[in-house]
Structure 1
Amino acid sequence: MKATVFNKPVIVVGNLAVGGTGKSPMTEYLVRLLNGRYRVATLSRGYGRQTRGFLEVHADSTAEQCGDEPLQFKRKFPHVAVAVDENRVHGVRRLFQGGHEVILLDDAYQHRALRPGFAILLFDYRSMDQPKWLLPAGNYRDSFGERRRADLVIVTKTPPTATEAAKERIRRSLDTGRQIPVLFSAIHYGPLVPLSPDRHPKEARLSRDHTVLLVTGIANPTSLCDYLQNRVKKMIHLRYPDHHPYTPETLQTITSRFHGIGNPSKFIVTTEKDAQRLLTPALATQLTDLPIYIIPIQAQFSEPDERIFQRMILQYCAITLGTDPV
């Protein structure tokens, strides 16, 4: 099958392993970098949605209609076009026909029907010493050799304790012989914001006095668990599968576990992605009295990696569109 190539910037953010490498924060970083310079749109498959075909996402859409991550993008960047389509070629064509100049494809590294102009491949720092076996023996959905198709490799969730020697070992392990840059990014967690701002204070601060009930339905919550455990008295984790569809029964379990915590200084923490599935009309009445807070997340680079990353992306877009580099 011949892959479709577009003559405008198409940037793919993907990984080889199954979930949990930080694709959404990296896509959001690209939105912040490019929005204002170009007419940017994001396109995802819309994992877990109950619809089919091309669909433009709106702030009042539901996760059932479009998937949790696209809804997260739209609510964080309301002026950026966000769409879903399991047929990425069709979706990209529709967005370019709508006047958009740069398309960001979230989780499309394995979509062979489309050849991106620029492919960003992510690896979780913690996974680099683990066996890189294909499913079902391991958790790789593509062979490790497929990293050679990338234009840029980023090792995500790099801990602050990572040494230059450790980074150099990882660079060597990812070497493809094509001199593809290997950069390192970290996770930055922002201040907690309430899920229901009309019922609870505008922010909550973590302290050693608190007990936190962490509720997640994401692929890899390890970094978040480490972050919270280092900042609160006790953390209790209710872990659900990635993209878990929250139901009234799930909320009953969460409510029961929360009320069973003896420490009066307590609240619930969840992720931005989980918040999209919690904020549904069917759960609204059960959520209002629970002090649920969302912890925002961003990808963060240190110098010189940030400078290299931004230069490569901006040069690619400028060259492809025939404009002056910004």
Structure 2
Amino acid sequence: MTIVTQEAGAPFGAAPPSGDAALVTEGLTKRFRGGQVAVDALDLAVPRGSVFGFLGPNGSGKTTTIRMLLGLVAPTSGTYSVLGLPQARALPKVGALVEGPAFYPYLSGTANLARFDAADPTAPGGTAKRRIADALERVGLSAAAGKRYRNYSLGMRQRLAIAAALLGPRELLILDEPTNGLDPQGTREVRALVKEIAADGTTVFVSSHLLAEVEQMCTHAAIMRAGKLVAQGTIASLNGGLVARVRVETPDTADAARVLGTLGLADVRPSGGEVTAELGGHAPEAINASLVGEGVAVRGLAVVRPSLEDVFVGLTGEGFDVDG
């Protein structure tokens, strides 16, 4: 599915190579009445086979972007492509969960999926029973297939929604805030399910405002702020933009700082009862041995590695929900 509008949006930065991408946008922009810009010149490339985290605070343009990618909202300008196919051929290969599941509370999981399947004009009716059973098994709901939806836990409801998106073979799965409102157990269930789906070869595009969750689940990520793309790349490359630091807890901060400086560590910072410095290529155990050997009382030593939150704050000067 490729949409081209008359006005070309100005691209933001350089997107990764898009030759083997499941999703590509170029200058994608959505402006609502009154001049509000929800998405501003978005250049995005989602590699096939990735679990791609689409990050940003609530109101940063994530859901609007997803709606444009699914053809639910027309862009003001720019272009986008889904699976490199014409719209009629792309959409049957895409499963989506946007803004939470909606099911009949008094119907079972199986009955609800049967109604979803019947509403899909591209679904082969003769295989509906088998495909529904396969989808329920894939999300771990076979034992609860006959249970009424109103008796499902939040995690089970999200899994049923994902099952609805997997009733046919999908090359791309788009999930908008799939762990929103879930307790820790439900969050773990959905996280494990996303990883299993990706392991089978499906590209998974997950929007979220929870950085820690995306960091555990995704291979790649893009960060949005106020409708603009701030950064994108692999999780490792995004985290690699900041350096790891060693933190030493000690009552002997002056001596510890001296030893760390002698060892060649950069940016040594004593503060209160601890000293921090850039780790560089130094082994933590060697640092600890040197401190102890110089008579420094070490109460604790830890390596602090940058997180997606650190990356976001470093890029924008702001933070948003990390744990929900």
Is TM-score (shorter-chain normalized) higher than 0.5? no
What is the TM-score when the length of structure 2 is the normalising length?
Answer: 0.27
**Which structure is larger by alpha-carbon Rg, 1 or 2?**
2
TM-score, structure 1 length as denominator? 0.27
